[in-house]
């Protein structure tokens, strides 16, 4: 097959620069089989094109089956090989001498999905251009950097020898030589890229990169002490940190024009290119006129979102309610099920005391689950089932509503984030690499309720602990808690609210037509509960009640929200990119 390039110009802010986004589509070399068509074998006539296009038709296909794994590996190689061949073609046209490749080219591996780039670049240099093998390895390593985005084992890909050897036999030979060379250089180490029957792409990425970086301070330290502990000991200067950032042009100037206009009116427009200038607003957060305008911008954004949700989903929301938002991909470590369990407990508490002074809130969820991740899909279904019951309850519907918005994407995020009052960043400590949604929410004036995980740690340090609702165990405490065999049972026994919420899920309160629908979910939480939903529930509940109390003081809440905006300037992607230029790519900015 061939890789066909499709180019899109990406024009930078103010039109001062344009880059090309080059995407690839797989196409057959032979094309349409007219002879088969003329014989009446229409399926065979179209088969070459259909098979080729399958490679690039769906990004990250479901890999829970053997055929899915094969397609995933083919796709990863296809995109990587096409990009590397194109890079070398352009390099040779412009510079000629392949020995200067690291001086002119920097290639960043985004997690382990493109990890085949190491052996493929060695193959191109050695097999196709005659560079000696050891020199080809050095050139490849000095050209490649590797960003690790997660400590989850499933994200550090491992491929079977059988599959790898069948699809990419030459690359398996090259990986063997890379592994042999690394083990020879460090004979006392037990680190291997190959182990019986398996190719470990995380270790391959590390060994074939001259720099390896994490994406938050905590994540980088955990990477050094967990998944790459031994490799870090062998290469102590290789791992660096580059905390993620978000672009203020997209996530404030474009998506929140009301707030952007208020900022510009106070400090001018230079903040758009230098987000740390937001610090100039520090003196304005006690100014009643500024706070009034800030609160009005938030109210208007919430009214817009409420109108859109009613128009598109038929759910009426009062913009005066607190908009409590969790939007991210569905995963057990991100703990959307902790959030919905707290919502169930809150619903039960409101029903028990409807005349108490409750803070009205709407819990908004959005996110997608991986195709084969059925537990995550069941969490989505549970959220929707709970929403159906809670939103129809005449006792509680003016005090609590639940909304799950389907088909989450960047466009939807641009609607939700400027209108959010509370940012849910509630992952199990030690599991979230960084996150960028947390930064977008803080920048747009939504205080965080969260754990000490990922970039939450740095957000809390910068916005001030008084402007952040902290709960939950630390990463070290998580490790210790897992050593207690019955930690979930103890947590349930100690918290009647949690026990009642789980009982409602188990007994079919939210799915009377199929009462056992979520029994497996409750069994998981009552038994292994690897992500410690039950252990953190009580602390989360009390943190949410602190949020309720804070939100009832409108002026103090607005001041807290404004301080989140004013103190989030460090979380600009401009700062992140400067860090990569300096510490990873050894390059200087051109604008």
- Which CATH number describes the domain made up of 248-577? 3.40.50.2000
Q: List, for residues 46-60, the tens digit of each pLDDT value.
A: 888 888 899 999 998
- So what's the pLDDT on residue 44? 81
Q: List, for residues 15-40, the tens digit of each pLDDT value.
A: 888 999 999 999 998 777 788 888 88
Rounded to whole angstroms, the Cα distance separating 185 from 85 reads: 30
Residue 589 — very low, low, confident or very high, per pLDDT cuts 50/70/90?
Answer: confident
- So what's the pLDDT on residue 31? 74
Mean pLDDT throughout 375-382? 99
440 is catalytic: yes
298 is catalytic: no
Mean pLDDT throughout 317-341? 98
Mean pLDDT throughout 182-198? 96
Q: Is the pLDDT of residue 381 over 90?
A: yes
Q: List, for residues 59-73, the tens digit of each pLDDT value.
A: 989 999 999 999 999
- So what's the pLDDT on residue 212? 99
| The two structure tokens encoding residue 77 | 């190689």
From 210, 440, 460, 462, the catalytic residue: 440
From 53, 69, 104, 149, the catalytic residue: 149
From 210, 328, 431, 460, the catalytic residue: 328
- Concatenated DSSP letters for 108-170? EEETTTTTTHHHHHHHHHHTTT---HHHHHHHHHHHEEEE-----GGGS-EEEHHHHHHH-HH
**Torsion over CA: 201, 203, 207, 211 (sign):** positive
Mean pLDDT of the chain: 97
From 69, 329, 368, 481, the catalytic residue: 329
Q: Is the pLDDT of residue 231 over 80?
A: yes
436 is catalytic: yes
Rounded to whole angstroms, the Cα distance separating 537 from 214 reads: 29
Whole-prediction pTM: 0.96
Q: Is the pLDDT of residue 418 over 90?
A: yes
Rounded to whole angstroms, the Cα distance separating 24 from 1 reads: 12
377 is catalytic: no
From 334, 337, 401, 517, the catalytic residue: 334
Mean pLDDT throughout 115-122? 99
Residue 150 — very low, low, confident or very high, per pLDDT cuts 50/70/90?
Answer: confident
Q: Is the pLDDT of residue 467 over 80?
A: yes
Same CATH topology for 73-241 and 248-577: the answer is yes
> What are residue 448's DSSP bridge partners?
423, 468
Task: For the chain, give the percent of residues with pLDDT over 70.
Answer: 100
Q: Is the pLDDT of residue 41 over 90?
A: no
- So what's the pLDDT on residue 35? 83
From 150, 220, 428, 436, the catalytic residue: 436
**Torsion over CA: 580, 585, 586, 587 (sign):** negative
Q: Which CATH number fits domain 73-241: 3.40.50.2000, 3.20.20.10, 3.90.1150.10, 3.40.1280.10?
A: 3.40.50.2000
If 0-12 CB within 10 Å is exposed, 13-18 middle and 19+ buried, where does residue 486 land?
exposed
Name which of 93-107, 149-163, 182-196, 367-381 the model is least confident about: 149-163
Query: What are the residue ranges spanned by the domains of the chain?
Result: 1-57, 73-241, 248-577
- So what's the pLDDT on residue 270? 98
What is the DSSP code (8-state) at residue 269? S
Rounded to whole angstroms, the Cα distance separating 140 from 174 reads: 12
Mean pLDDT throughout 498-517? 98
Mean pLDDT throughout 460-475? 99
Tally: H helices and E strands in the chain: 26, 15
Mean pLDDT throughout 304-313? 98
């Amino acid at each position: 097959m061939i890789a066909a390039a499709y180019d899109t110009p990406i024009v930078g802010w103010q039109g001062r620069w344009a880059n090309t986004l080059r995407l690839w589509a797989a196409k057959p070399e032979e094309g349409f089989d007219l002879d088969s068509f003329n014989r009446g074998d229409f399926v065979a006539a179209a088969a070459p094109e259909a098979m080729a296009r399958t490679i690039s038709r769906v990004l990250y296909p479901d890999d829970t089956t053997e055929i899915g794994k094969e397609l995933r590996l083919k796709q990863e190689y296809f995109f990587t090989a096409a990009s590397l061949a194109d890079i070398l073609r352009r390099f040779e046209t412009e510079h000629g001498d392949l020995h200067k490749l690291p001086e002119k080219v920097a290639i960043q591996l985004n997690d382990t999905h493109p990890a085949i780039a190491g052996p493929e670049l060695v193959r191109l240099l050695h097999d196709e251009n005659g560079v000696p093998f050891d020199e080809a390895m050095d050139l490849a390593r000095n050209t490649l950097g590797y960003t690790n985005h997660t400590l989850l084992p499933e994200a550090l890909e491992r491929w079977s020898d059988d599959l790898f050897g069948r699809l990419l036999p030459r690359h398996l030979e090259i990986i063997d030589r890379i592994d042999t060379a690394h083990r020879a250089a460090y004979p006392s180490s037990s680190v291997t890229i190959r182990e019986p029957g398996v190719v470990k792409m995380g270790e391959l990425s590390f060994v074939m990169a001259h720099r390896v970086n994490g994406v938050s301070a905590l994540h980088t330290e955990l990477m050094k002490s967990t998944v790459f502990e031994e490799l870090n000991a062998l290469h102590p200067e290789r791992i660096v940190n580059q905390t993620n950032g978000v672009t203020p042009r997209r996530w404030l100037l474009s998506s929140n024009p009301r707030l952007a206009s208020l900022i510009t009116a106070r400090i001018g427009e230079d903040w758009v290119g230098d987000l740390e200038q937001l610090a100039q607003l520090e003196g304005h957060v006690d100014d009643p006129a500024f706070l009034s305008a800030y609160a009005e911008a938030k109210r208007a954004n919430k009214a817009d979102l409420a109108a859109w949700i009613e128009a598109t989903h038929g759910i009426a929301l009062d913009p005066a309610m607190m908009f409590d938002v969790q939007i991210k991909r569905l995963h057990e470590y991100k703990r959307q099920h902790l959030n919905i369990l707290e919502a169930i407990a809150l619903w039960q508490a409101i029903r028990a005391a409807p005349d108490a002074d409750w803070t009205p809130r709407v819990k908004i969820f959005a996110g997608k689950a991986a195709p084969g991740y059925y537990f995550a899909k069941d969490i989505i279904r549970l959220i929707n089932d709970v929403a159906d019951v809670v939103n129809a309850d005449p006792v509680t519907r003016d005090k609590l509503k639940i909304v799950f918005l389907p088909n989450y994407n960047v466009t939807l995020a641009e609607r939700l984030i400027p209108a959010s009052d509370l940012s849910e960043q509630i992952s199990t400590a030690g599991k979230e690499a960084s996150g960028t949604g947390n930064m977008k929410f803080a920048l747009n004036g939504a205080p965080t309720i969260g754990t000490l995980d990922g970039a939450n740690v740095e957000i809390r340090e910068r916005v001030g602990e008084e402007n952040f609702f902290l709960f939950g165990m630390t990463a070290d405490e998580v490790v210790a808690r897992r050593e207690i065999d019955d930690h979930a049972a103890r947590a349930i026994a100690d918290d009647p609210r949690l026990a009642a919420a789980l009982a409602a899920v188990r007994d079919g309160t939210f799915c009377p037509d199929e009462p056992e629908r979520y029994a497996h979910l409750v069994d998981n939480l009552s038994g292994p509960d690897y992500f410690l939903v039950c252990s953190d529930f009580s602390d989360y509940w009390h943190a949410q009640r602190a949020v309720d109390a804070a939100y009832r003081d409108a002026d103090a809440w607005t001041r807290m929200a404004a301080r989140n905006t004013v103190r989030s300037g460090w979380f600009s992607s401009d700062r992140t990119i400067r860090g990569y230029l300096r510490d990873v790519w050894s390059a200087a900015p051109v604008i």
